[in-house]
Amino acid sequence: MIYITQLIFIQEGKEELFLEFESHAIPLMEKHGGKLIYRLRPKQEDFVSGEEEKPYEIHFVSFESEEQLNQFMHDDARLNFIHLKNESVKTMLLVKGKKM
């Protein structure tokens, strides 16, 4: 099992484009054995400390294998709407790991 944490930073005013991307990506991810464990949209007051920009959303996702993750990432259906992500996401911090 692979676990992925994503801190997603959105370009100002592009939230709707990002949400449209997610409306396509999440069901497709599940088709490839991915599971959205948590999808958080924290408010400013939810942060105890930190000096950096705050993420728009935080995702915690799992895939059964690296192969399934790669299949999702390279799925033609995903690539057909990847422009929505590219136009809306300023930057993303992705951390991959295993359960310990």
Q: Looking at per-residue confidence, does 100 or 83 come out higher?
A: 83
Confidence of residue 28 (pLDDT cuts 50, 70, 90): very high
The pLDDT assigned to 36 comes to 96
Phi-psi region of 36 (alpha: psi -120 to 50; beta: other; left: phi over 0): beta
Cβ(18)–Cβ(62) below 8 Å:
no
**pLDDT at position 100 over 90:** no
The pLDDT assigned to 98 comes to 87
Average pLDDT value for residue range 28-39 = 96
**Residue 93's domain is classified under what CATH number?**
3.30.70.100
Is 97 exposed, middle or buried, given 0-12, 13-18 or 19+ CB atoms closer than 10 A?
A: exposed
Tally of domains in the chain:
1
Phi, psi of 53 (to 5 degrees): -60, 145
Domain that holds residue 75: 2-97
**pLDDT at position 18 over 90:** yes
DSSP string, 1-21: -EEEEEEEEEPTT-HHHHHHH
| pTM value surpassing 0.95 | no
